[in-house]
Amino acid sequence: MKTIQTVPFTGTKEQEQQLLAWLDDHADEDGIALQSLQMTQQIYGYIPKEAMITIATVTGIPLSELYGITTFYSQFRLFPIGEYKISVCLGTACYVKGTQAVLDKLISTLGVEEGETTPDGKFSLETCRCIGACGLAPVITINDDVYGRLTANEVERILANY
C-alpha cells in the first residue's frame, strides 16, 4: 500500500477554541456530524485526527463514524495541502477539449501524482469534476486564479508565476 507523508499536527489553541465554540452553538441540533467536519476543514484547512477526537469527545459521535464521513466525501482532506492548490477540471466539457494532456504535463513538471503535494509544500495537485466554467475549457484553477483555454505548452509558464 502507498504511504503518504504527513506533517506533524500544528493546530493552535485558538483553532481549538473556535471549533469548541461552534460545537457549543450547535449542541442541540440534529445531524451535525457532517457540518462539524466542514467547519473543521474551514478552521484547519484539513481534518486533523486531533480535531476529530475533539468532536467525538464533545458530541459523543463515534470517531469511526466521523472518519467514515470524512473519507466518504471527496472535499475532505486528511492531510494539509500545499500553499497553492492546483485543481484540474476533469468535467466532460474540459475532457473532450483535452484537459488530460494538461494534467499529464502538470504531473511531469511538478513530479507529483494527482492528490499529492510537492515536497517543498508549495503545490498540491488535485482534479475536480466541473467547476462550471465550461466556456473556457480546458480549465485549471490555482487557488482563486482561473486559467482557461489551456494547452499543455502553457503549463510551465503559468507555474512560473507562483
Partner 1 sequence: MFRSHVMICSGTGCKSTGSEKVIDTFKKAVEAQGLSNEVNVVQTGCLGLCSVGPVAIIYPEGSCYCNLTEENVPLIVEEHLLKGRIVTDLLYKEAEEAEEILKLEETNFYKKQRRVALRNCGRIDPEKIDEYIAFDGYMALGKVLTEMKSDEVIQLVLDSGLRGRGGAGFPTGLKWRFAAVNDADQKYVCCNADEGDPGAFMDRSVLEGDPHVILEAMAIAGYAIGATKGYIYVRAEYPLAIRRLEIAIEQAREYGLLGSNIFDTGFDFDIDLKLGSGAFVCGEETALLTSIEGNRGEPRPRPPFPALKGLWEKPTILNNVETFANIPQIILNGPEWFSSMGTEKSKGTKVFALGGKVNNIGLVEIPMGTTLREIVEEIGGGIPNGKKFKAAQTGGPSGGCIPAEHFDVNIDFDNLIAIGSMMGSGGLIVMDEDNCMVDIAKFFLGFTVDESCGKCSPCRIGTRRLYELLEKITSGNGELEDLDKIQELAEHIKTNSLCALGQTAPNPVLSTLRYFREEYEAHIVEKRCPSGVCKDLLNYTIDPDLCKKCSLCAKNCPSECISGVVGKEPYVIDQSKCIKCGACQESCKFGAVIKK
Q: Residues in the site for partner 1, rule: CB under 8 A?
A: 30-35, 37-38, 68-69, 72-76, 90-93, 95-97, 101, 104-105, 108, 128-137, 139, 146, 148, 151-153
Rounded Cα gap, residues 116 and 9, in angstroms: 18
Using the minimum distance from each CB to partner 1, give the nearer residue, 122 or 129. Answer: 129
Amino acid at 141: T
CB-CB contact of 112 with 150 (8 Å): no
Residue 118: CB minimum distance to partner 1, A: 17
Residue 151: CB minimum distance to partner 1, A: 6
Using the minimum distance from each CB to partner 1, give the nearer residue, 37 or 112. Answer: 37
Rounded Cα gap, residues 139 and 131, in angstroms: 8
Residue 34: CB minimum distance to partner 1, A: 4
Residues belonging to the chain: 162
Residues contacting 21, CB < 8 A, separation 6+:
none
